[in-house]
Amino acid sequence: MRKTYEAAAASSKAAMNFTGNHAGATVQDNWLLSILKSSSNSAAEKQIVTRASRDSICVVCKGARFLCGKTRCPLMVKVNYYLKSVPLMASEDIAGVSPPSVFIGRMGYPHVYAGPLVPPIAEDTSLYDLPELWFGKSIDEIVGFRSLLVRGKHPVHVQKFNEAGKIVEQTRELALAENSVDIELNLTKKPRGSLFLSDDVQPFGPSAPIRDLHVGNARFDHRIEKAYYDTDLRALPAVLELYNRGVMVTRIQRAFSVGAFGVEKNRRLVPTRWSITAVDDIVSKSLAEQVKTFPEINEYRVYESRYLDNVFEVLMIPDIWRYEAMEAWYPGTVWNPNGKTTAIFSDYEGNNGRTTYAAIGGCYYSARLAVCEQLVKERRQATVIVLREARPGYIMPVGVWQVRENVRNAMRQKPFMFKTLSGALQFIADRFEIPLRRWILQSELLKNALFQKKITDFFAATQASAKAQA
């Protein structure tokens, strides 16, 4: 049986970054193979055929010179995790404890693959699928336990899960469980594939189609269970109700993805990455409506947090609720591998919110959730600009939870207070390496705060003093 090591294949966006053209042939001088040989794992060797592009800088670099500009070679990191999960690939039968965790794919929607994620570990694994508890852990630790999760796949139409049989039914029930659940996962063949990486979703390990699935006794979270059995309750109020009763966003999202909420005839499976953003969006939109009724803050504030070489500076301006998220990618970071200059992306919404999907993706909504939580807690209103610098140490994407938890951590810190906008901006400029001018040029809300005058500026003032002010 031949296993293909997909380091250079397009299975993940990250992989694409260091191979400009991977359509190429199998290269004889295969440096990856020699690394794998030297790792003295003969079992792995048999299973692996490596592919690499002839003109890729990786062939020249061989994981040693960091030509791509990252601080560690993502390919080497991936190989390490791959080797760890090789034992997982030895058997078609996995017995373990699921955190619980499920994954609903999005390829081929509405015909998708659904199934549980199961590590071959017989202890409490709940931490493996609760990003709320991950803040502060290293990228190695997180990718380490995530890569142990084997994904079982079962084809299903998102709206016809009731007809899809026992495997899908048990997967759905697993997603509602409160604690880790014993699982026996029988696959049709040995799981294959390398670490799955995505900007939105937490990474996980190899996968294979499901032959049979046995899920042990699971106790449901009673709050989620209530919404699950209420087939007249619409999905939106269900999500908000659960959030307000203190259910973790991850748990709501997990149940959301298996179609546990909504009016019965409208229920459907939701691809995992869509469900994450859907829940972030629903909750933060509702919080923003509350924020709009509170009094404005009295000063300029800067909150900050740094984790996994992502630096966040959150600026709050004493004005009505508006929100903007900006991210700058250094050359050599995940999504800007070959760039010579830093790339800045942003999107914003005014007081009335937005109706289109944010250009920068799911992290826009995760950060919005984190800042709204803080403003609601304080019962205050502000214009909020979330600035993020992704530095070269951020070698692989780990999912939007990183943004949510990083900004939440920023919100837990005591903010730096300023009397003027220029004071706050100067502070941010000192923290960031990207010049302030570039941030301002890119930011609609910063330009607005700097340039848009208030009608109150012209009340008492005579014309002369108003001009002096300008």
Partner 1 sequence: MFKLKVADAKLLRDMATAISILVDEATFKIDPEGLKLRAMDPSRVAMIDFEWPKTIFEEYVCAEPTRMCINISELLKLLKRASKDEAVELALDEKTARLEIKITGKYTRNFTMPTLEASEEEVPTPKITFNVKAKTTTQGLSQAIEDAQLVSDHVRVEADAEKLVLNAAGDLMGAMITLQKGSDALLDLEVKENSKATFSLSYLSEIIKAASATSDIATLEFSSDMPIRIDFQQTKEGKLTFFLAPRIETE
- Which spans of this chain sit near partner 1 (rule: CB under 8 A)? 319-320, 350-351, 444, 447, 450-463, 466-467, 470
Residues 362, 363, 364: CA angle, nearest 5 degrees: 90
Q: Which residue's CB is nearer to partner 1, number 25 or number 470?
A: 470
CB of 16 to partner 1, least distance (A): 28
- Residue linked to tokens 């998708």: 112
Nearer to partner 1, 211 or 292 (CB): 292
* 42 vs 352 by CB, closer to partner 1: 352
Give me the least distance between CB of 436 and partner 1, in Å please: 12
Strand partners, 324: 348, 385
For partner 1, the closer of residues 107 and 464 by Cβ is 464
Helix axes 421-431, 444-451, angle to 10 degrees: 140
Count Cα neighbours of 51 within 13 Å in the Cβ-side half-sphere: 17
CB of 48 to partner 1, least distance (A): 48
- 260: Cβ–Cβ under 8 A, 6 or more apart, which residues? 172, 175, 176, 224, 227, 228, 267
Say if CB 89 and CB 190 are below 8 A apart: yes
Of 1 and 464, nearer to partner 1 (C-beta) is: 464
Structure tokens at 432: 């960031």
| Residues 427-463: b if buried by 16+ CB within 10 A, e if exposed | bbbeebebeeeebeebbbbbebbeeeeeeeeeeeeee
User: What does DSSP say about strands 383-390 and 416-418: parallel, antiparallel, or unpaired?
Assistant: unpaired
Q: Residue for token digits 């992306």?
A: 345
The residue among 57, 77, 79, 78 whose CA lies nearest residue 69 is: 57
Of 233, 234, 419, 393, the closest CA to residue 307 belongs to 393
Query: With respect to partner 1, which residue has the nearer C-beta, 319 or 327?
Result: 319
Distance in Å, CB of 459 to partner 1, minimum: 5
Nearest distance from residue 435's CB to partner 1, in Å? 13
Pairing of strands 181-187, 300-307: unpaired
Pairing of strands 150-157, 207-215: parallel
Q: Which is nearer to partner 1, 322 or 391 (CB)?
A: 322
Site of tokens 């909750």: 283
Instruction: CB nearer to partner 1: give 246 or 295.
Output: 295
The distance of closest approach from Cβ of residue 376 to partner 1 in the complex, given in angstroms and rounded to an integer, is: 18
CB of 355 to partner 1, least distance (A): 15
**Cβ–Cβ < 8 Å for 129, 250:** yes
Identity of the residue, 135 or 294, whose beta carbon is nearer to partner 1 in the bound complex: 294
Specify the residue, 340 or 437, whose C-beta has the smaller distance to partner 1: 437
Q: How far is the CB of 350 from partner 1 (least distance, A)?
A: 8
Shortest distance, position 358 Cβ to partner 1, whole Å: 17
How is 305-325 classified by DSSP, letter by letter? Answer: EEETTEEEEEEEESSS-EEEE
Supply the minimum distance, in Å, between the C-beta of residue 201 and partner 1: 33
Tokens 């690499």 -> residue: 52
